[in-house]
């Protein structure tokens, strides 16, 4: 299964009596009704780990591109109207700034490893606290309450799974807790953010900017306000879009399928 297709519903499952396994590409499984699949005796697998470095890399790419105004800068550099580069045109520094990571799983931790090399101060919020060695390896400070993270961060990066608990995790209240100079970066799922609240926050300068690899839906309708805001970068869900990783994902999926068909323990099974 790639890009959430085909859609797995009751109708499809009834028409495929010998279906044994659904191997889904990527880490997220929010598009699958696990109970339904289980009721048909169909196993499920995903590819959670192989995507982690690429997604962490993209998170860093979005943070840097947003704060240094890379896309705007590119447009100035190539525009037919440009006569000179303005001297008073500035971005914000990434090195030494404070990064708040919401969701310190595999991907979140890899972001922390990268951010540390930029001498960033790292705060994190997670269901569970990481152990001391893991925290000190990246210099990350645990924020039991998400509010503390939101109030202190220059960049807030979301790398949680989409679950009923994380649905609209970042809404009006959370956005208002953030600094007016802060940037929201989302590489998890569009639905983790209350998109309407985000539009309002960006329009009213409640936060400074947003950089989103994921939205709801994907792609956004062409008249959506997010597409018109100058302080927003959107990329078309390319978190894992590299040749090498796609190949590895495919290898993982074939492994899972072969094990599933042979009745053997399935690597990367989702229970």
User: Which residues contribute to the site for another protein (CB under 8 A)?
Assistant: 2-3, 53-54, 56-58, 60-62, 64-65, 67-71, 73-74, 76-78, 80, 82-85, 87, 89-96, 113-119, 219-220, 222, 227, 233-238, 241-246
- Cβ-in-10-Å burial (0-12, 13-18, 19+) of 199 comes to middle
CB-CB contact of 252 with 47 (8 Å): yes
For another protein, the closer of residues 227 and 261 by Cβ is 227
Is there a catalytic annotation at residue 130? no
User: Distance between CA 66 and CA 232 in Å, rounded?
Assistant: 8
CA distance 246 to 251: 9
Measure Cα distances from 119 to 86, 132, 218 in Å. 29, 19, 34
4 labelled catalytic: no
Q: Shortest approach of another protein to residue 33 CB, angstroms? A: 23
112 vs 143, beta carbon nearer another protein: 112
Of the listed 218, 224, 255, 269, which one is catalytic?
A: 218
**Dmax over Cα atoms in the chain, in whole Å?**
67
User: Least separation, in Å, of the C-beta of 31 and another protein?
Assistant: 15
Q: Which of the following is catalytic: 69, 125, 130, 189? A: 189
Smaller CB separation from another protein, 172 or 246: 246
Nearer Cβ to another protein (34/117): 117
Residues 54 and 75 sit within 8 Å (Cβ to Cβ): no
Rounded Cα distance, 79 and 203, in Å: 26
Provide, rounded to whole angstroms, the least separation between the CB of residue 25 and another protein.
10
Minimum distance between the CB of residue 92 and another protein, rounded to whole angstroms?
Answer: 6
Say if residues 252 and 46 touch (Cβ distance below 8 Å): no
Residue whose pair of structure tokens reads 């900017």 in the numeric block: 209
Q: Residue 13 or residue 56: which is nearer to another protein going by CB? A: 56
Q: Would you call 68 a catalytic residue per the annotation?
A: no
Return d(Cα 111, Cα 156) in angstroms, integer. Answer: 12
Shortest spacing between CB 40 and another protein, in angstroms: 27
Q: Give the catalytic positions in this structure.
A: 189, 218, 237
């Amino acid at each position: 299964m790639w890009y959430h297709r085909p859609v797995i519903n009751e109708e499809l499952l009834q028409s495929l009596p010998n279906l044994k396994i659904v191997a889904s590409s990527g880490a997220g499984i929010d598009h699958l009704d696990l109970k339904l699949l289980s009721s048909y005796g169909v196993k499920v697998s995903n590819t959670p780990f192989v995507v982690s470095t690429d997604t962490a890399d993209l998170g860093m790419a979005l943070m840097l591109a947003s704060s240094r105004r890379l896309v705007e800068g590119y447009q100035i550099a190539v525009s037919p109207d440009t006569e000179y580069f303005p001297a008073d045109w500035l971005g914000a520094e990434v090195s030494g700034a404070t990064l708040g990571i919401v969701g310190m799983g595999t991907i979140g931790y890899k972001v922390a490893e990268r951010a540390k090399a930029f001498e960033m101060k790292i705060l994190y919020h997670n269901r569970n606290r990481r152990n001391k060695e893991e925290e000190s390896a990246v210099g990350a400070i645990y924020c039991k309450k998400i509010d503390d993270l939101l109030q202190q961060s220059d960049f807030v990066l979301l790398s949680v799974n989409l679950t009923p608990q994380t649905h609209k995790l970042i809404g009006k209240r959370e956005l208002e807790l953030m600094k007016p100079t802060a940037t929201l970066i989302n590489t998890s799922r569009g639905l983790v953010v209350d998109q309407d609240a985000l539009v309002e926050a960006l329009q009213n300068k409640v936060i400074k900017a947003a950089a989103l690899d994921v939205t709801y839906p994907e792609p956004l309708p062409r008249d959506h306000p997010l597409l018109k805001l100058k302080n927003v970068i959107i990329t078309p869900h390319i978190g894992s879009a590299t040749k090498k990783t796609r190949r590895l994902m495919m290898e993982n999926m074939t492994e899972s399928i072969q094990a599933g068909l042979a009745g053997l323990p399935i690597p990367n099974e989702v229970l």
